[in-house]
A and B are shown apart, each in its own frame.
Chain A
Amino acid sequence: MKSLEELRKLREKAQKDIQARKTSNKAKVIIGMGTCGIAAGAREILKAVMAEINKRNLDVIVTQTGCIGMCEKEPLLDVQMPGKERITYGNLTKDDVSKIVVEHIVNGKVVEDLAVAKLED
């Protein structure tokens, strides 16, 4: 260890690895993974979300939930920005994921044509 700066750089890098343990005030992606969701390809969506977050170095919580009742619109993915409404996106393909991540999570704009519901949380 040669300097304090070197330590701080190392810390930033290391913090990325434990970001999943810090939960407050962070954007949240919730993926519907009931039997119906999994059958409709929710796993693929989840993997795509993880890949996208990784690529862009974002600090986002990714979690999952069971069937929320809109089975015909599976796979479903909810985005909740801190202090904002929870938006549900449906009928997703892997390619939609990057659009949602960039527009909604990075730029804070709801992707209207993919959104299927707004939930008061």
Chain B
Amino acid sequence: MEQSIYRSHILVCGGTGCVSSGCKQAQDALKEELAKHDLTSEIKIVETGCHGFCEKGPIMIMYPEGVFYCELTPEDMPELVEEHILKGRTVERLLYTEPNTKKNIPSYEEIDFYKKQQRLVLANCGHMDPESIEEYIANGGYEAIGKALTEMTPQEVIEEVKEAGLRGRGGGGFPTGLKWQFAAAAESDKKYVICNADEGDPGAFMDRSLLEGDPHRIIEGMMIGAYATGADEGYVYVRAEYPLAIERLQKALDDAREYGLLGENIFGTDFNFDLHIKAGAGAFVCGEETALMNSIEGKRGMPRPRPPFPAEKGLWGKPSNINNVESYANVPNIIRDGAKAYKAIGTEGSKGTKVFALTGKINNTGLAEVPMGITMKEIIYDIGGGISDGNKFKAVQIGGPSGGCLPEELLDLPVDYDSLTEVGAMMGSGGLVVMDDSTCMVDVARFFLNFTQSESCGKCTPCREGTKRMLEILNRITSGEGKDGDIEMLERLAENIKSTSLCGLGQTAPNPVLSTLKYFRHEYEAHIYDETCPAGACQDMLKGYVIDEDACIGCTACARVCPVDAIEGSVKEPHTIDLDKCISCGACVSKCKFDAISQA
């Protein structure tokens, strides 16, 4: 029997974010409900990759109408099927409500979160079944590699990528075409291409979402890279903490092999290529290319000095080309639509789009793809929906542990590789952590240094010992025992570690400390000289809370939430806090509606 078309497709987000908010349960309930109404043959359920709007999961988009429903529960399904599918009425209460206007928005294209985005790399994510090679092909997939193999020479492919101005999306921003040129120039009987999917930055998840949502795009990008550089074998190095990404990539590889898109004589040419997955144990240092190759070879993930660069002597001593997931994901578009179309987007030195992972104290947590050169303000306020709980913006941390914190004065900064480096941050993989005024910047620096310190492989002394000394100083400062000279010592250590470490991990580890010292030095000084934490975040420095008698109306809300019974007082009378008992947890402050409680 010929397979019939469906009158409606329901796209259910199956990204890791939505899985954790319960999309599986919602999907099961939906299936059950459709079966109950005998609609299974008319309505198709498609599980997609991440839509990017993780804050509002589970998410479903109903086609042909294109109505976007969010924050769904299994209990919503009977109503959704009855109203939307049977009667053709939109269920208002399940629509997205814009935080600023309080309006319900039925079509996702109209939601502010999506309106300012330009989804090229993420075009398929959330809009197709990542486990279906047919859907990828329907959306123009494998057209680029077909074109490259049958109409272009390897050198023409490299020229096109150079012309497009693509720079490495993993962080450093090295020109991809130039990297390919080096690998192509190396002479060898065997070459490799490697995809770095060891995404270890706290707060970053774009590589995972791409692998989960559009695995064939990565495969196609790597195939083009292999053809251009003369490789016939490739590895995707992905951390084992990403089981769904590995599963979907494996399915994609199997299907591609079945269709003859991987293997021998692809597209009837003499190009042969196959691809393997290497699951890594998940160490931050393995994102560094020489450490990553050691790990693929089965050795400890430790970097080695460069040169020789991987393009000359890489995996198993053979010339190798390493790019990040997002870099490869950009390649099919460049080849299919041409460099000219690609470089029309972006700024002078940074072309195309960049995917950012928005997290922290922001209304719309999620994944957003924007043209290079957009301002930080647009990302945070227009796409991110502003600061959550009506709090005040304090800083944005960009680039993960290797990046830096930027203050409010820099929000009008157009975001690209060079502008970020100029102000002491970096693109990194594109993690954006938004912080409000309850965040202590010294504590943030301590958090990131603690991360890099424990992820240091230990091979070189500056990184192993230097970051440990820096961390000790930061620990002292945040516990109220900072002393005169600490700031200067931090600066000296930072400069030394940056200039003498073996690999990128150590060379960038001091960045969070340096950028917070640059823009929030007064907070360090307040900790050391005034013995206070201005944000009220460093527990050891707080002396407890006091209640303003004039402002307190005796509502008893604070006393009820105090976990140590430190608050006393009768109803409608001002309350008091026993400072000996108070543990400075701040539970009372967040409950008080009259701003009557402050730090002692």
Contact = CB atoms under 8 A, between A and B. Distances in A.
B140 interface: yes
8 contacts: A4-B146, A7-B146, A17-B135, A18-B135, A20-B5, A21-B9, A23-B66, A66-B88
A38 B37 CA distance: 12
B150 interface: yes
B5 A34 contact: no
A63 B137 contact: no
B462 to A, nearest CB: 50
B266 interface: yes
**Most B CB within 10 A of own CB, among A1, A14, A17, A33:** A1
Contacts of A23: 63-66
Contacts of A10: 134, 137, 259
Nearest to A50: B7
A98 interface: no
A10 B143 CA distance: 11
Nearest to B61: A21
A43 to B, nearest CB: 9
Interface string B134-174: 11011110110011001000000000000000000000000
Interface residues of B, number: 38
B594 interface: no
Contacts of A51: 4
A61 interface: yes
A53 B135 CA distance: 21
A65 B142 CA distance: 39
A97 B259 CA distance: 39
Interface residues of A, number: 34
A20 B9 contact: yes
A107 interface: no
A2 B3 CA distance: 25
Nearest to A37: B87
B4 A21 contact: no
Contacts of B142: 1, 7
A50 B139 CA distance: 24
Interface of B: 3-9, 11, 42, 44, 63-66, 85-89, 127-128, 134-135, 137-140, 142-143, 146-147, 150, 259-261, 266-268
B143 A7 contact: yes
Nearest to B136: A14
A3 B267 contact: yes
A4 B42 contact: no
Contact of A20 (B63, B139, B260): B63
Contact of B5 (A11, A38, A54, A66): A54
A34 B11 CA distance: 25
A4 B147 contact: yes
A64 B88 contact: yes
Contacts of A34: 87
Nearest to A54: B4
A118 interface: no
A4 B260 CA distance: 12
Nearest to B138: A14
B5 A64 contact: no
**Most B CB within 10 A of own CB, among A3, A11, A13, A62:** A11
Contact of B266 (A1, A11, A17, A19): A1
B36 to A, nearest CB: 14
A10 B141 CA distance: 11
A63 B268 contact: no
Nearest to B2: A54
Contacts of B6: 20
A16 interface: yes
Given A4-B150, A61-B64, A66 B89 contact: yes
A25 interface: no
A23 B61 CA distance: 13
Contacts of A7: 137, 142-143, 146, 267
B138 A2 contact: no
A81 to B, nearest CB: 15
B458 to A, nearest CB: 47
Given A4-B146, A21-B127, A65-B89, 18 more contacts: A1-B266, A3-B268, A4-B147, A11-B143, A14-B134, A16-B5, A17-B135, A18-B128, A20-B7, A21-B63, A28-B64, A33-B87, A34-B87, A46-B7, A47-B42, A54-B4, A63-B7, A66-B89
